[in-house]
Amino acid sequence: MPSKSFKDLLSAEESLFRNPEVFDPDYVPEEYLHREAQMRSIAACIKPALRGERPLNALIHGPPATGKTTAMRKLFEELEDIPEARRIAGVHINCQITATKFGIFSLIHKAVVGHLPPETGVPFSKVYEAIFRKLRRERRVLLVVLDDMDHLFHDRYANEVLYDILRAHEVFPGVKTAIFSIVSGTEFLYKLADRVRSMFRAQEIYFPPYSAGEMYDILKRRAELGFFPGVISDELVEKIASYAYEHGDLRLGIELLKVSALTAESHASRKIEEEHLEEAYAKASTATLRSLVEPLSVQEKLLLRLLCEAEQGITSGRLYERFSAVERLSYTKFYRILRKLEELRLVETRPVSGEGRGRSREIFLRPSREELLKVLPCE
């Protein structure tokens, strides 16, 4: 058979994808599964706004990839179909991208007034006034979703932003505002200034991690939408769900569906075989490992390197001896590094059995040595 040209290889006929966009990070799933309780709580917060009253503030929290952002996207999408929702001026802000007070109020201005304010030459007070005068005139209720709000704390804007939105009714009586803040943990509440915390009384809505079965359902549905029939077997979707569950990361599962299919395509296969998944998983896990290891300090990397050279189950005492032969560091500081590596799930430690061993632990590397050495820079 003559060898194929690039044109053949790139042609749509070779594709296993029916709808490649369903694997994109910003895809909003048609079916949002296993989040009925959270959707009910969110709806309860919004409901007063449909009668022109103030919605309840919400504090939406949970680990990564548990569907928090998706819940908001679905909410805004569905509000478009509800006539009474015209009373709501809603805006969903990604604080990783827009992390300044002016940036945030510019987006609110756009949602309420219809366009962004000029970038320069307009004082904040003018932008603020334009927003709330218009809201009051139109008797609309403002709902601001601050997604990944933790990022506002890096620049200390969180207090000011919350304060300026929540106290708007004092300056413009009759104005009604609410905030939905999305964060990974609730610790941020303690970082708020007292005056702001007392204003920001919010309904807590928790998004727990998905179970392996829930991940399977979500991934199976995504595969059905994204691939032509017969491209992936249920067993392989199950395997992908178990990898995603092990890592506590549904996004990894979605990525594995996509990369396994691309790998299958590159081998000119009409369906995904187990070896394509394994190849995709190896690539994905190296990338994840690299993102964990790269930001570590020199001492933290040194400890990882020593662990690669040591036998599995080495005791913390012996590891400290080896570590202090290279680097002068107190045992307490050494132990702190060990705890950090454990929190990052790079190592696992177990108490040494037997009496009188104090806090001596046995240490096990979680990734394989070979995997880890691939991403650890040479000394």
Ligand X SMILES: Nc1ncnc2c1ncn2[C@@H]1O[C@H](COP(=O)(O)OP(=O)(O)OP(=O)(O)O)[C@@H](O)[C@H]1O
Interacting residue ranges for ligand X, rule: CB under 6 A: 27, 29, 32-35, 64-70, 148, 184, 207, 218, 250-251, 254
Smallest gap from Cβ 295 to ligand X, in A, equals 17
The entry of ligand X, Mg ion, none near residue 349 (CB within 5 to 8 angstroms by kind) is: none
Separation CA 128–CA 122 (nearest Å):
10
Residue with smallest beta-carbon separation from ligand X: 67
Indicate the burial class of 17 (C-beta count within 10 angstroms; 0-12, 13-18, 19 or more): middle
The entry of Mg ion, ligand X, none near residue 337 (CB within 5 to 8 angstroms by kind) is: none
Select 128 or 207, whichever has its Cβ closest to Mg ion.
Answer: 207
Separation CA 211–CA 207 (nearest Å):
12
Applying CB under 5 A, which of residues 41, 57, 66, 69 lies at the interface with Mg ion?
Answer: 69
The entry of Mg ion, ligand X, none near residue 143 (CB within 5 to 8 angstroms by kind) is: none
Smallest gap from Cβ 181 to Mg ion, in A, equals 12
Strands 202-206 and 176-183: unpaired
Take residue 349 and report the two structure tokens written for it: 């430690």
Nearest to 315 by CA among 331, 333, 329, 300: 331
Compute how many other C-beta atoms are within 10 angstroms of the C-beta atom of residue 48. 15
Helix axes 250-266, 274-293, angle to 10 degrees: 130
The entry of Mg ion, ligand X, none near residue 29 (CB within 5 to 8 angstroms by kind) is: ligand X
Select 37 or 82, whichever has its Cβ closest to ligand X.
Answer: 37
Smallest gap from Cβ 23 to ligand X, in A, equals 8
Select 221 or 305, whichever has its Cβ closest to ligand X.
Answer: 221
Helix axes 212-226, 250-266, angle to 10 degrees: 40
Select 25 or 114, whichever has its Cβ closest to Mg ion.
Answer: 25
Separation CA 302–CA 314 (nearest Å):
16
Select 34 or 191, whichever has its Cβ closest to ligand X.
Answer: 34
Smallest gap from Cβ 70 to ligand X, in A, equals 3
Select 96 or 297, whichever has its Cβ closest to Mg ion.
Answer: 96
Select 32 or 228, whichever has its Cβ closest to ligand X.
Answer: 32
Separation CA 34–CA 67 (nearest Å):
10
Q: Which stretch binds Mg ion (CB under 5 A): 2-10, 61-69, 98-106, 304-312?
A: 61-69
Helix axes 212-226, 234-247, angle to 10 degrees: 130
Smallest gap from Cβ 70 to Mg ion, in A, equals 8
The entry of Mg ion, ligand X, none near residue 94 (CB within 5 to 8 angstroms by kind) is: none
Sign of CA dihedral 92, 291, 337, 242: positive
Contact 63, 209 (CB under 8 A): yes
Separation CA 285–CA 28 (nearest Å):
25
Select 211 or 330, whichever has its Cβ closest to ligand X.
Answer: 211
Cα 324–329–332 angle (5° rounding)?
110
Site size with Mg ion, rule: CB under 5 A: 1
Smallest gap from Cβ 266 to ligand X, in A, equals 23
Select 69 or 98, whichever has its Cβ closest to Mg ion.
Answer: 69
- Full DSSP string of 166-197: HTHHHHSTT-EEEEEEEESSTTHHHHS-HHHH
The entry of ligand X, Mg ion, none near residue 218 (CB within 5 to 8 angstroms by kind) is: ligand X
Contact 48, 102 (CB under 8 A): no
Smallest gap from Cβ 236 to ligand X, in A, equals 19
Interface characters, 15-54, with Mg ion (x: CB under 5 A): ----------------------------------------
Q: Which stretch binds Mg ion (CB under 5 A): 52-60, 62-70, 202-210, 319-327?
A: 62-70
Nearest to 341 by CA among 301, 288, 283: 301
Contact 301, 293 (CB under 8 A): yes
Interface residues toward Mg ion, by CB under 5 A: 69
